[in-house]
Amino acid sequence: MPNAVRIHHFAKSGHAHRALVFAKLAGIAHEAVPVDLAAGAHKSPEFLAMNPNGQVPVLEDGDVIVPDSNAILVYLARTYAPDWIPNTALGEANVQRWLTLAAGEIAFGSCAARLITVFGAPLDANFAAATAEKAMQKLELGLEGREWLVGDRPTIADVAAYSYTAHAPEGNVSLGPYPNVRAWIARFEALPEFEPMPATAVGLAAE
């Protein structure tokens, strides 16, 4: 790869962390470009030209622009890290199931719960907690008797599910009832070149 890809991010965004940690884990040369959300940089004409939704992360790879964290994972894996995405129809379908969970119940569960405690988002804490529990139960079951969500090595399915699951206690979502999930988090964090998302001492993480 002649030039590094650019990843526009915000340090405490789990969505942005997906893209950054994957680039680290997969050894993809990249430049992390901070976006000052507090100053409204994500609403600037320049940023909105890359992502009309005004959200991080956004990937730049030469003339290619890819918004959306899961889309970025797929693009980076297909382009630069094929070991991280299965090359069979069934394998890729199984990865997609977990990407859907990450964009669905994890986003509306652990992610939303954390948005409430870390950023004061006006969301329904009870709904977020109940949705997070559903996602945790699916992860716990999916990890029964296995180390990774798909196949015998980590894939972008694990990357997509990791950040908000690992930081769920910040949103008052306990990992205590989910031993398979806790062991999976430890395995993920033990991967070479892993880099954590900054922690926030709120919710259960403040105890």
* Residue spans per domain, the chain: 5-83, 85-206
How is 84-148 classified by DSSP, letter by letter?
GS-SSHHHHHHHHHHHHHIIIIIIIIIIHHHHHHHH-----HHHHHHHHHHHHHHHHHHTTT-SS
Looking at domain 85-206, its CATH architecture is Up-down Bundle (1.20)
Q: What is the pLDDT along the chain (207 residues), one digit of tens a residue?
A: 447 899 999 999 999 999 999 999 999 999 999 998 877 778 888 888 888 888 899 999 999 999 999 999 999 999 999 999 999 999 999 999 999 999 999 999 999 999 999 999 999 999 999 999 999 999 999 999 999 999 999 999 999 999 999 999 999 999 999 999 999 999 999 999 999 999 999 999 886
**Which of 34-51 are b and which e, b meaning 16 or more Cβ less than 10 Å from the residue's Cβ?**
ebebeeebbeeeebeebb
pTM of the full predicted structure? Answer: 0.94
pLDDT, position 45: 85
Write the class of the CATH domain 5-83: alpha beta
Same CATH topology for 5-83 and 85-206: the answer is no
Distances (CA, A) of 15 to 10, 155, 176, 186: 9, 16, 24, 20
